[in-house]
Structure 1
Amino acid sequence: MAELVRIYPDNPDFRLLRKITKDMRDGALVIYPTDTVYGLGCDINNKSALEKVAQLRGVKLEKANFSFICEDLSNLSDYVSQIDSRTFKILKRNLPGPYTFILPGNNNLPTVFKKKKTVGIRVPDNSIATGLVHALGNPIISTSIRDEDEVIEYTTDPSLILEKWEKQVDYVIDGGYGGNIASTIIDLTGDEPILVREGLGSVDL
């Protein structure tokens, strides 16, 4: 059964974040707030946890388009091949923020993602999300929590999220009500930025 953990975004309790990330290293799945919708995440280096997330989303792990949640742009060189100054300026200007930027991947990607040529990078403007990454010491693989409701695409109430996911994840972090608009996805792998999905972030880069 999932544990509901209340963490205040204005002043996250780092002891709680360390407790959660200790379990994440051992394969725990966590639902946590971002600057857009609530996300389901796990340690990028735990293959069994990655497989569980893929199974919950009904996709094959090798083909899954999960985001890499990073603390800041310093993680980029770990997973992204060399990018030009124009691309870096776009990233620096808009992150942290409600964007997922698709970038060319490099050979340092975790083994299960070696065949992927691109990677989606997120640096949320949310201290709980970035605090988790900081406590873990490496990025989190993440996917948005969707709702089957035809009207409400994303559940915003942590207690309702717990009710739905308590048997499938290990932690639900209650960081207050979440948003119901996902991140804007921009592909930066070509000569010009390409809008993949319009979300919360402005498309005027």
Structure 2
Amino acid sequence: MSIIRTPEPSEATGEAAAMYAEDLDDLGYVPEYTRVMSVNPEAYRAFEDLVRSVVPVLGKRRYELVTLAAAQALGSEHCRLAHGRKSLHYFDEDDLERIARDYHDAPLSDAEVAMMEYAERLSTDSAAMTEDDAARLRAHGFTDREIVDITLAAAARNFYSRAIQALGVRTEVPPDLSDRLRAALLAPL
């Protein structure tokens, strides 16, 4: 249970109620991470705006791959599960399981693998990153805008994942994930 007290869905008002309603529509329940973030809905909406600013250039598939790589590097079960579920819109379950277990051995392009490696490095050792990290992405055809957006997507995942971890949000498994995919998304690499 989180260290933050949050309203029950029936008690939420204003922007918090709107956030709860979005999750009820999408998931059928309100995850604890939404409840905690609803305490500062302006910050949550700013996070969403940042994500919306990078998705048009990267595309949703690539955004989800960056998110999965960053979440794995951070040990964020919350985000691996939530974005694993979202990634089922772009990958079939078998391919997503392979991505979750080892994206180097999954049906991804070399550019997608390089992008995920970059997101992992940013999430574990960003202070050591150099021009060579961006050069690797350029070698795979990424533009400067795409490199900035990959960086922002991974950094945004760092922000969100670290915030919910620090606030003691419990990990919830989306009920519509298969046991096999859940196990792959939660398996350490």
- Tell me whether the two structures share a fold, i.e. TM-score over 0.5: no
TM-score w.r.t. the length of structure 2 is 0.29
Which structure is higher in helix share?
2
Larger strand percent? 1
TM-score (norm 1): 0.27
